[in-house]
Amino acid sequence: MFLSLIYTFAYVYPIFAYPIPQNWNKAFHLVEYTTWAIFVIDYGIQLKLASNKKRFLRSELLSMMLIAIPFLRPVRAMRGIVFLRHASTRPKDSLLMTLPWMIATLGGLMMLIMAAAVLNVERFAPNSTIHNTGDALWWSLVTVTTIGYGDKYPVTGEGRLLAAVLIIFGIGLVASLTGYFASAIIKQVSVNTVETNKENA
């Protein structure tokens, strides 16, 4: 997860801070390629050690995509967050690892990554409406929340593909939060009903 966050910063910062000095730009690219190489080596080692390589390739297809597709590489950080929650030995209702915290963190990270990715492909595109960091972050916010305000939108094929990914992610995000809170309300109502029945017994 730590390397994924480093990669995310190295990917996002030069795009948001554009233009930056050439030597800084080269340094960030070096960090990107180094961390990517580590991801590739790690995947290769896991594949080599796997007893059933075909099964490993099928089960780790997402990992391969996250490594192979450039703008998806920072998303590996979100897998780390999911792992932290499952691996946590704290109580399930711990603030750090509660589902809303995890969803909010995943949503924020996805918005940041997609804002940088869409700005990278839209900044100089003809008739583009996304020209700077503020435009990209605003577009990302209204897209992931499925509001679709309409003042900022991608005009390139790559930008529209990114928008489609973010819209699907946003629908899942809203559905997850809605389901969580609905479940919490139903659980509380059930507890109150049981307590009331005990008092009346």
CATH topology for 93-201?
A: Helix Hairpins (1.10.287)
End-to-end Cα distance, the chain: 53
Q: Would you list the DSSP string of 144-189?
A: HTT---SSS---SHHHHHHHHHHHHHHHHHHHHHHHHHHHHHHHHH
Q: Which pLDDT score, from 0 to 100, does residue 125 have?
A: 93
**46-to-52, 73, 156 alpha-carbon distances in Å:** 11, 18, 37
Domain ranges of the chain: 1-87, 93-201
**Closest to 178 (Cα-Cα) out of 111, 99, 92:** 99
DSSP-assigned letters across all residues of 82-123: HHHHHH--S-TT-TTT-HHHHHHHHHHHHHHHHHHHHHHHHT
Instruction: Give pLDDT tens digits along the chain (201 positions).
Output: 677 778 888 889 999 999 899 999 999 989 988 988 888 888 888 888 888 888 888 887 777 777 776 656 656 665 555 555 544 445 444 444 466 777 777 788 888 888 999 999 999 999 999 999 999 999 999 998 878 778 899 999 999 998 998 888 888 887 777 777 777 788 777 777 767 777 666
Q: Which residue has the tokens 């991608």?
A: 154
The pLDDT of residue 55 is 87
